[in-house]
Amino acid sequence: MAELNSDGPRDLTTQDLATLKHYIRRVRLAQHLVVVRGYARRVILHGETLTPDEELDKARRIRECMELGSSFELSEKEVVSLLYKEVFGHVKKCNCPTCQAQQGSGQV
């Protein structure tokens, strides 16, 4: 991110505002990715079921991920790759009994 001038108070330039908006969109996308990946791990890796509220939240976050991804000129495929990027690679790091059993049986 470009640094804002720190010489004291001044009006923000158009470039400052554009940089700030870009940064905010990146942070929002990252936050959504963390939450959606958490839901995916629970469902895909652990066989859990999301509550109705979690399902609604997941759908809203995925929709916003797609919109934010589009604003960064990412394709739908690229956004989906970002969503699931760490889900399947996470298995080896997880120490829950389910993952340990799957690792021991060679299922993962």
CA dihedral over 52, 54, 58, 61, signed as positive or negative: positive
Report how far residue 97's alpha carbon sits from residue 95's, in angstroms, rounded to the nearest whole number: 6
Q: Is residue 48 part of a domain?
A: yes
Residue 106 has pLDDT above 60, yes or no: no
Between CA 61 and CA 66 the distance in angstroms is: 9
Domain of residue 82, residue span: 14-105
Q: Does residue 97 sit within a domain? A: yes
Whether residue 8 is contained in a domain is answered as no
**Predicted confidence (pLDDT) per residue in 32-86, tens digit:** 999 999 999 999 888 999 999 999 999 999 999 999 999 999 999 999 988 888 7
Tell me the torsion sign for CA atoms 75, 87, 103, 48: negative
DSSP state of 45: I
Higher pLDDT, 95 or 53: 53
7 in a structural domain: no
Answer yes or no: is 74 within a domain: yes
Residue 18: the pLDDT is 84
Does some domain include residue 2? no
Q: In the numeric block, which tokens belong to residue 90?
A: 């996470």
Considering its fold, how many domains does the chain have in total?
1
Residue 56 lies in a domain: yes
Q: Is the pLDDT of residue 4 over 70?
A: no
Confidence category of residue 90, pLDDT binned at 50, 70, 90: very low
Tell me the C-alpha distance between 86 and 82, whole Å.
Answer: 8
Say what the pLDDT of residue 2 is. Answer: 53
